[in-house]
Structure 1
Amino acid sequence: MTETLDTTVAFRATMGRLASGVSVITTRTGSTPIGMTASAVSALSLDPLQLIVCVGNHLFTRTAIAEHGRFAVNILGEDGEDLARTFAAPVPDRFAGVAVDDSHGVPVLQDAIATVVCQVSQALPGGDHTIFVGDARHFTHKSASRPLVYFAGEFGVMS
């Protein structure tokens, strides 16, 4: 069923009332790091350890994850708005000046408050997105950190 533009806008505004954490999904294509800002991330399972990320089918990041078979979810903290905006913008090199650790086969943002490196176990269709199920291979977090959140089209922090 194809929705009208008004319906799409109304649905988007409604779902914008669901506060979400802000992450940067990273992977690589060859030796080139690839990344995008995302809020469609969720834990899926504790046995096995899995999470899901939803990536628009029109995005190069989707192709890169599918080809590389690995990705990282970099959860941003309250001081991560600049990173979120950089990785959401159409800039040629989103990684310019960003500290990364490449020891897990994908770029991991050193300024993230938590990171999960995943091996893709499934790629499922989800409308105009692909739902990647990732098996957690490495994960870490910083103890006393508050997350960056996204609500009603704006970034904020939890008090």
Structure 2
Amino acid sequence: MSETPDTTVDFRATMGRLVTGVSVITTRSGNAPIGMTASAVSALSLAPLQLLVCIGNHLYTRSAIAEHGRFAVNVLGEDSEALARNFAVSKADKFAGVETIDDHGVPVLKDAIAAVVCDVAEEIAGGDHTIFVGAVRYCTHRVDSRPLVHFAGGFGALRASY
């Protein structure tokens, strides 16, 4: 095992061994819904209620979140690989055929197993990413669901009992 990574490829491969949940981050740009698949999402604080998302600086979603000031984290279920792939690629209308609810100023995916709507509380520079700290406005979840997970560049399902 190497003590220091030789390249970004080594680092990405190493971090790919960290199992993460798969979410779609949504916001608005004007009236248009914007979204992207993400795995860099984490709870941050219980007092106040906050979470964080990390978005690449080169992505349009980053500038849309900064401009709109609100975003949603939509946690995907184990049967949502196609939805994750849909939001992971660049294309004109990622929302075509995707049912959303827009009660909170940003699109929330109807098929998400959990969703958190946040106002941007802080933007922090993090290398080639921006870390958005979100102040939680609304959250919901389904108790009878299992998450879609990402590991080593692929998608899978959680098989542990809980």
Q: TM-score range by the shorter chain?
A: over 0.9
Distance 1:144 1:101 in 2: 20
Instruction: Describe how 1:23-62 pairs up with structure 2 within 5 A.
Output: 23-62=23-62
Cα displacement string for residues 60-87 of structure 1 (whole angstroms, at most 9, x for unaligned residues): 0000000000000000000110110000
Structure 2: give runs of 5+ residues left out of the alignment. Answer: none
Matches within 5 A, 1:56-135: 56-135=56-135
- The TM-score, its normalising length taken from structure 1, stands at 0.96
Normalised TM-score (structure 2)? 0.94
Please give the alpha-carbon distance, in whole angstroms, between the structure 2 residues aligned to 1:51 and 1:107: 18
Distance in structure 2 (CA, Å) of the matches to 1:108 and 1:34:
11
Aligned-partner Cα distance in 2 for 1:90–1:54: 18
Give the 3-state SS of the residue equivalent to 1:136 in structure 2. strand
Q: How many residues align?
A: 155
Q: Residues 84-118 of structure 1: CA distance to partner in whole angstroms, max 9, x if unpaired?
A: 00000111100000000011000000000000000
Secondary structure, aligned partner of 1:67: helix
In 2, Cα distance between equivalents of 1:121 and 1:30: 20
Task: Specify every segment of 5 or more residues in structure 1 that has no aligned partner in the other structure, as ranges.
Answer: none
Q: 1: distance between equivalents of 2:80 and 2:123?
A: 28
2: distance between equivalents of 1:90 and 1:118? 24
What SS does structure 1 have at the residue aligned with 2:45?
strand
Matched position secondary structure for 1:111: coil
